[in-house]
Amino acid sequence: MKVLQIKGGKELSGEIVISGAKNSAVALIPAAILADEPIKILNVPQISDIDALSDSLKYLGASVTRTGETFIIDPKSLINKPIPENISNKLRASYYFMGALLGKYKEVDMFFPGGCAIGSRPINLHLKGFEALGAKIEEKGNRYHIYAKELKGTNIYLDFASVGATINIMLAATRAKGKTIIDNAAKEPEIVNIAIFLNNMGAKIKGAGTSTITIIGVDHLKGCFHEVIPDRIEAGTYVILGALVGNKLKISNLIPEHIEALLSKLKEAGVEMEIGDDHIIISKPNKYKSISIVTQIYPGFPTDLQQPITPLLTQCPSASITENIFENRFMHIKAFNKLGGKIKINGKKAIFKGPCQLKGTKIEATDLRAGAAMVLAGLIAKDITIITNIEHILRGYEGIVEKLINVGAKIEVREI
């Protein structure tokens, strides 16, 4: 079994360069099959979620050439067939093949999606969107068969501004007849990135980044090249690291506007930062002020940074997190209490008493962002922290161990 071993307490300095966004790349790659010609995507992070998508494409018969962080996908020889469950259940985002295959072939057979266990994570809004476009949905055991004679543009109101549902409906609607309007659409930067990508391919999408997105269906999408935006969650994670143990730690290749909610919370906690156009230089303050975090849809504080900021909250006199997006995203709190935190959960609120000196022990990464939170905790804890189940972390953070060693962290992957 592979574990991460961390010796905490070291100040970190130097530079961490942010990779392409996981949550953007995992949508762009399935979307590429909508084209009838080759697609080139740059700045794709080298993480295991991307490996699983690449395997899915190859299984479907697409040609995939991967050189470092550049992907060339030629979907000309694609065959529409069910992706085997042992590939598709490796990540949640394999559900983007639903919208893409349905849009292109008007039919798709897909197993239920996998991904982090952070709540019940239904996909009813995705399915309602496909139905509104004219598709029929049959549940066969643990898979969906979705088909339509033709997809017809329509007005779709999302009961919740879901990232996944917004993207999936955009993918299908791109090849529907006529105009689709998605109301109460998600506004995350990943939505804007995929809309730009599809428009480069010849789609007609307006309003991405606002709550109303209009899509006029087209018959053909052409080849193009496109760059994945910087990962705002990876950036946020390392900015928090700087606030914990940084000594002029530079986090570069990020878009500060994408993590504004985090930056304003860190300022409120007393952290000083030098914010450039594409980088942030950050140092640990002498002490932290109390803050409370409330997760919200973009541009609010992202649920994906709620776990990574947990170690910092243990260092405040008092703090709280209210988790509004997922109902089961406090799985990491048990490990933080084991490390010496004083955290109580009351419904969707976690209440912190502090500051607490964390002390290394053996803990388990329960999901991707929980794992990242535990790495940061290990870096401020006394003695040695051992993290198990590290596959979760490697799914989403490119070269995390190398990036941390480069700035002086004592961290290694060990086989036990």
* Residues annotated catalytic, as ranges: 116
Does 196 engage in binding with ligand UD1 (CB under 6 A)?
no
Q: What tokens does 248 get?
A: 């002029």
- Residues between 42 and 101 that touch ligand UD1 (CB under 6 A): 92-93
SS3 256: helix
Kindly tell me which of 119 and 317 has the beta carbon lying closer to ligand UD1.
119
Per CB under 6 A, the segment of 139-147, 238-246, 299-307, 342-350 that binds ligand UD1 is 299-307
| 243 vs 264: CA distance, rounded Å | 13
User: Looking at 19, 162, 315, 320, which residue binds ligand UD1 (CB under 6 A)?
Assistant: 162
Between 348 and 410, whose beta carbon lies closer to ligand UD1? 348
Q: Please list every residue from 247 through 286 that binds ligand UD1, using CB under 6 A.
A: none
Minimum distance of ligand UD1 from residue 126's CB (angstroms): 5
Return the structure tokens found at 243: 């606030």
Residue spans of beta strands (DSSP E) within 18-99: 39-42, 63-67, 70-74
Residue from 288, 326, 330, 336 binding ligand UD1 (CB under 6 A): 326
323 near ligand UD1, judged by CB under 6 A: no
Q: Tell me whether residue 169 or residue 271 sits nearer to ligand UD1 (CB atom).
A: 169
Single out the residue of 31, 83, 108, 123 in contact with ligand UD1 (rule: CB under 6 A): 123
DSSP 361-386: -EEE--SHHHHHHHHHHHHHSBSEEE
Exactly one of 99, 164, 308, 360 binds ligand UD1 (CB under 6 A); which one? 164
Instruction: Tell me the C-alpha to C-alpha distance, in Å, between residue 409 and each of 21, 249, 396.
Output: 23, 12, 19
CB atoms inside a 10 Å sphere around CB 65: 11
Tell me if 135 contacts ligand UD1 by CB under 6 A: no
Tokens representing 112 are 């239920």
The count of residues interacting with ligand UD1 (CB under 6 A) is 22
Nearer to ligand UD1, 250 or 258 (CB): 258
Kindly tell me which of 120 and 346 has the beta carbon lying closer to ligand UD1: 120
CA–CA separation, 123 and 328 (whole Å): 16
* Location of structure tokens 């940084």: 246
Q: Answer whether 311's CB lies under 8 Å from 333's CB.
A: no
CA–CA distance from 182 to each of 120, 165, 170 (Å)?
A: 24, 10, 8
The answer, yes or no, to whether the previous bond of 355 is cis (omega within 30 of 0) is: yes
Task: Tell me the window of 123-131, 266-274, 384-392, 402-410 that interacts with ligand UD1 (CB under 6 A).
Answer: 123-131
CB–CB of 148/134 below 8 Å?
A: yes
**Residue 308 beta carbon to ligand UD1: minimum distance, rounded to whole angstroms:** 12
Of 84, 119, 178, 300, the residue at the interface with ligand UD1 (CB under 6 A) is: 119
What's the token pair of residue 295? 């997760």
Task: State the nearest-atom distance from the C-beta of 4 to ligand UD1, in Å.
Answer: 21
Q: Can residue 215 be called a binding residue for ligand UD1 (CB under 6 A)?
A: no
Q: Is residue 124 near ligand UD1 by the rule CB under 6 A?
A: yes
Helix 22-31 / helix 48-59 crossing angle, nearest 10 deg: 0
Residue 68 near residue 82 (C-beta atoms within 8 A): no
Judged by CB under 6 A, does residue 182 bind ligand UD1? no
Contact set with ligand UD1 (CB under 6 A): 23, 26, 92-93, 119, 121-126, 160, 162-165, 186, 302-304, 325-326
